[in-house]
């Protein structure tokens, strides 16, 4: 097993070990009955005391994640290994130093019919037929498009139209030469991390945070410092306290209808974050995946990038979620030498994103189709949000939430006695899934949360699935 320990962190070493083992168990990277290293072996490997490892193992045992067999060792709690497991031809792989410490996507690998785990739009609300027709026309006109690599920076026509769109709808003055097309926002986050960070660098994230972004930073060996949110977004007072003690390289924020909480960061808060970046010389990743999906005319403030004068903000605008997840198209806006660094890393990462999917977006951005589509999509998702709020509101005992002003998600705080992962296992038996809150935290949260994405199901299935979810939560509260 590979652990990433930060001995300078305020989090005790035994707790860091505990959290990383729990993440492996919950992510499916450690199986029932698997034996943990001995106290001495793990202590020697990590260069810590045996007492530290013993405390971590004791925590795991107390929380029910492991059991101890006298004279044999410590094992992941679960059923005894079958003969087939004991002779598993792939068992040797467990001894390797795997870089994947955690992944939110392992939690719901087996899809359920009533799926609240994915922040993805119901397919019939997307212009898939139009996009398919456009791609067919392009291929009939120029089949050689499939025989060539797209430009590393991205299709020039798309960059020009994307710059116009960002000017019209985000108030950003963008030179197309400062845009880099990525295969979705997720690749953009990974590209920035690979370009700017080295193991041990300090990265500040919101708490809770988009889980897949946390995955990127953790699995690259970063020192993550979570900063809690209030109703306006990440708290700058706490951020400044951290900056005075640490030297962060990067801050990741999701300011417009934050994933998972739905929080909308105020303009004043955006300006304050940029002032701190200028004062302490760190970059900000501004992830704008949900800013177009606002309800009740709660139009988000201008992006942080709008106020950026010195190249501190790297702005990511995703189009996959609102047009077609299968296209995987996003724009990255960066200025200064960092753009050339990002370009170079993108070149050896994938030699350029697929050209045909970039061309497919052009008809939408060149006409008023995008504006009309987004208006309809906002209306449909607002109805789904209202349905979700109405049904979840029936859970009056200890379940709380804030009504999101946009985005795809409802963030539920559950009673203290409910384990989100155990709740998920119960829900799966009724063909329901959601995202357990711990996937959105760097460390195990003190309180239980779950994220319910209301965007993926049809109106009818949404109601049925939510009623099933409420029933599971109520049953958990009575057992």
Residue pLDDT, tens place only, 183-227: 999 999 999 999 999 988 999 999 999 999 999 998 888 899 999
Can you state the angle between helices 420-428 and 459-478, rounded to 10 degrees? 120
Question: Under DSSP, is residue 381 helix (H, G, I), strand (E, B) or coil?
Answer: helix
116/94 Cα distance (integer angstroms): 32
Per-residue pLDDT for 329 more than 90? Answer: yes
400/24 Cα distance (integer angstroms): 29
Instruction: Supply the DSSP symbol for 12.
Output: -
- Give 452's strand partners: 410
- Give 479's strand partners: none
Residue pLDDT, tens place only, 414-441: 999 999 999 999 999 999 999 999 999 9
pLDDT of residue 80: 46
Per-residue pLDDT for 295 more than 50? Answer: yes
Per-residue pLDDT for 397 more than 70? Answer: yes
Q: 319: Cβ–Cβ under 8 A, 6 or more apart, which residues? A: 327, 329, 330, 331, 361
Per-residue pLDDT for 369 more than 80? Answer: yes
pLDDT of residue 29: 75
Do the bridges between strand 283-288 and strand 313-318 make them parallel or antiparallel, or are there none, so unpaired? parallel
Phi (first) and psi of residue 67, to 5 degrees: -135, 155
pLDDT of residue 13: 87
Mean pLDDT of 131-148: 85
Mean pLDDT of 20-36: 80
pLDDT of residue 79: 45
Confidence of residue 69 (pLDDT cuts 50, 70, 90): confident
How far from chain centre, in Å, is Cα 463? 26
Cα–Cα nearest to 65, from 105, 110, 33, 109: 33
DSSP alpha helices (H): ranges in 66-180?
83-86, 128-141, 156-170
375/373 Cα distance (integer angstroms): 5
468/126 Cα distance (integer angstroms): 26
Q: 267: Cβ–Cβ under 8 A, 6 or more apart, which residues? A: 301, 302
Which has more pLDDT, 326 or 206? Answer: 206
pLDDT of residue 27: 66
Ramachandran sector of residue 218 (left: φ over 0; alpha: ψ -120 to 50; beta: rest): alpha
- In degrees, rounded to 5, the angle at the alpha carbon of residue 103 between the alpha carbons of residues 84 and 213 is 170
Per-residue pLDDT for 401 more than 90? Answer: yes
- In degrees, rounded to 5, the angle at the alpha carbon of residue 455 between the alpha carbons of residues 449 and 456 is 105
Cα–Cα nearest to 236, from 280, 194, 195, 177: 280
pLDDT of residue 109: 78
Count CA atoms within 13 Å of residue 467 on its CB side. 6
Q: Give the chain's mean pLDDT.
A: 89
Cα–Cα nearest to 121, from 385, 401, 431, 368: 385
How many Å from the N-terminal Cα to the C-terminal Cα in the chain? Answer: 36
Residue pLDDT, tens place only, 222-241: 899 999 999 999 999 999 99
Confidence of residue 99 (pLDDT cuts 50, 70, 90): low
Mean pLDDT of 243-257: 95
- Domains of the chain and CATH, by start: 13-101 (1.10.10.10), 114-125+371-478 (3.90.1150.10), 128-368 (3.40.640.10)
Residue pLDDT, tens place only, 255-284: 999 999 999 999 999 999 999 999 999 999
How far from chain centre, in Å, is Cα 332? 17
Buried b or exposed e, range 308-346, using 16+ CB within 10 angstroms:
beeebbbbbbbbbbbbbbebbbbbbbbbeebbeebbebb
Per-residue pLDDT for 386 more than 50? Answer: yes
pLDDT of residue 352: 83
Can you state the angle between helices 355-366 and 156-170, rounded to 10 degrees? 40
Q: How many percent of the chain have pLDDT more than 90?
A: 62
Identify whether the C-beta of residue 398 lies closer than 8 Å to the C-beta of residue 423.
no
Longest dimension (CA), the chain: 72
């Amino acid at each position: 097993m590979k652990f990433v320990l930060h001995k300078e962190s305020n989090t005790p070493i035994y707790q860091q070990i505990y959290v990383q083992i729990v993440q492996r168990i919950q992510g499916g990277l450690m199986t029932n009955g698997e034996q943990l290293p001995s106290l001495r072996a793990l202590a020697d490997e990590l260069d810590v005391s045996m007492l530290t490892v013993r405390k971590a193992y004791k925590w795991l045992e107390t929380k029910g994640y492991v059991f101890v067999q006298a004279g044999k060792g410590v094992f992941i709690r679960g059923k005894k290994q079958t003969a087939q497991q004991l002779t598993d031809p792939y068992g040797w792989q467990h001894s390797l130093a795997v870089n994947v410490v955690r992944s939110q996507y392992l939690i719901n690998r087996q899809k359920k019919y009533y799926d609240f785990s994915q922040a993805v739009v119901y397919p019939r609300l997307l212009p898939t037929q139009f996009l398919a027709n456009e791609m067919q026309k392009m291929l009939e006109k120029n089949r050689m498009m499939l025989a060539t690599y797209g430009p590393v920076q991205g299709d020039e026509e798309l960059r020009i139209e994307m710059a116009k769109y960002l000017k019209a709808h985000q108030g950003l003055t963008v030179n197309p030469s400062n845009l880099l097309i990525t295969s979705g926002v997720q690749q953009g986050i990974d590209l920035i991390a690979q370009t700017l960070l080295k193991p041990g660098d300090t990265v500040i994230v919101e708490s809770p945070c988009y889980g897949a972004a946390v995955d990127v930073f953790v699995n690259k060996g970063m020192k993550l410092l979570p900063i809690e949110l209030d109703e306006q977004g990440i708290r700058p007072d706490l951020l400044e306290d951290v900056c005075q003690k640490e030297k962060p390289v990067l801050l990741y924020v999701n300011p417009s209808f934050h994933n998972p909480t739905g929080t909308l960061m105020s303009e004043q808060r955006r300006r304050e974050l940029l002032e701190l970046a200028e004062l302490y010389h760190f970059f900000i990743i501004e992830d704008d995946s949900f800013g177009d999906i606002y309800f009740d005319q709660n139009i988000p403030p201008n992006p942080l990038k709008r106020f950026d004068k010195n190249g501190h903000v790297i702005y990511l605008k995703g189009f996959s979620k609102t047009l077609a997840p299968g296209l995987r198209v996003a724009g990255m806006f960066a200025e200064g030498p960092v753009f050339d660094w990002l370009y170079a890393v993108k070149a050896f990462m994938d030699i350029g994103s697929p050209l045909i999917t970039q061309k497919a977006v052009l008809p939408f951005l060149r006409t008023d189709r995008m504006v009309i589509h987004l208006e309809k999509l906002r209306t449909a998702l607002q109805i789904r949000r209202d349905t979700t709020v109405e049904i979840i509101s029936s859970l009056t005992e200890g379940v709380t939430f804030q009504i999101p002003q946009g985005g795809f998600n409802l963030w539920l705080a559950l009673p203290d006695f409910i384990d989100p992962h155990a709740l998920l296992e119960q829900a799966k038996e009724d063909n329901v899934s959601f995202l357990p809150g711990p996937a959105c935290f760097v460390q195990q949260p003190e309180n239980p949360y779950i994220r319910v994405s209301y965007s993926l199901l049809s109106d009818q299935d949404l109601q049925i699935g939510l009623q099933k979810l409420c029933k599971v939560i109520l049953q958990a509260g009575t057992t």
